[in-house]
């Protein structure tokens, strides 16, 4: 009997675990470059080197693959903000957060584009995640930042808009990679601009946040 289609996660067997991983890796490739609707099961199956029915033996539908993928990536996605430590030095903490986000954009651009595609198109499949997990985390960390401001360790500013600005500027290097490379006249593999970006952003946000 078809085990995989009953139990969504398990992967009891070695083969099941391996194949599911291979499929998710290919799905990340495909979904991140074409969005959900623009991606086909055939594309994912091809990329994973297996037939469509075979792929559908491991995941019950296109939605199933997408959902599993998003859940699988969610922790990595939120981890940089989770690491923001209220007991650390405010400026250092914010700079550290920016650095981590920028490293994510450099090392995991597909993951960034996966979420970008989804949110850009109205987040129909991850709404609950935004109103739930993300919202709680932002609530918590915005309070931390507000606390720093109240204690006069940071220049007054809206904590949530600060988070938006950090997300936007860092993710930009992953989500709009094509444009960035064209404007900076960079080759495909070149990642030298991430150091310039880190310097620029650290400078920008530090000047904006440091009390004098």
Task: Write out the residues near DNA by the rule CB under 7 A.
Answer: 1-4, 13-16, 19, 39-42, 50-54, 56-57, 60-63
Could you tell me the smallest distance in angstroms from the CB atom of residue 35 to a copy of itself?
A: 5
Q: Which is nearer to a copy of itself, 4 or 27 (CB)?
A: 27
Q: Could you tell me the smallest distance in angstroms from the CB atom of residue 71 to DNA?
A: 17
The DSSP annotation for 55-120 comes to HHHHSSSHHHHHHHHHHHHHHHHHHHHHT--TTS-HHHHHHHHHHHHHHHHHH-HHHHHHHHHHHH
The binder of 63, among a copy of itself, DNA, none, by C-beta within 5 to 8 A per type, is: DNA
143 binds, among a copy of itself, DNA, none (CB under 5 to 8 A by kind): none
Neighbours of 210 (CB within 10 A): 12
Chain residues binding a copy of itself by CB under 8 A are 33-38, 113, 116-117, 119-123, 127, 130-131, 134-135, 138, 155, 157-158, 160-165, 167-169, 171-173, 175-176, 178-180, 182-184, 196-197, 199-201, 203-205, 207-208
Structure token pair of residue 185: 């006249």
Minimum CB–partner distance for residue 186 and DNA (Å):
31
| Binding site partner of 67, from a copy of itself, DNA, none, Cβ cut-off 5-8 A by kind | none
First to last CA, the chain: 69
| Interatomic CA distance for residues 142 and 136, integer angstroms | 10
| SS3 label, residue 175 | helix
* Cβ-contact 177, 109 below 8 angstroms: yes
Closer residue to DNA, CB minimum distance, 62 or 101: 62
């Amino acid at each position: 009997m078809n085990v995989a289609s009953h139990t969504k996660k398990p992967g009891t067997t070695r083969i099941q675990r391996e194949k599911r991983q291979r499929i998710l890796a290919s799905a990340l490739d495909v979904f991140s470059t074409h969005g959900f609707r623009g991606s086909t099961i055939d594309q994912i199956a091809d990329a994973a080197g297996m037939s469509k029915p075979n792929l559908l033996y491991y995941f019950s539908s296109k939605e199933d693959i997408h959902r599993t993928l998003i859940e699988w990536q969610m922790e990595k996605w939120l981890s940089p903000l989770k690491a923001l430590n209220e007991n650390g030095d405010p400026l250092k903490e914010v700079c550290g957060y920016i650095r981590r986000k920028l490293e994510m954009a450099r090392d995991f651009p597909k993951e960034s584009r996966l979420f970008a595609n989804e949110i850009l198109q109205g987040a129909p499949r991850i709404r609950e995640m935004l109103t739930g997990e993300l919202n709680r985390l932002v609530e918590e960390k915005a309070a931390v930042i507000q606390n720093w401001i109240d204690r006069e360790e940071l220049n007054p500013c809206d904590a949530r808009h600060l988070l938006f600005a950090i997300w936007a500027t860092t993710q930009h290097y992953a989500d709009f990679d094509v444009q960035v490379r064209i404007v900076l006249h960079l080759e495909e593999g070149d990642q030298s601009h991430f150091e310039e970006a880190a310097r620029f952003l650290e400078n920008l946000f530090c000047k904006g946040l440091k009390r004098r």
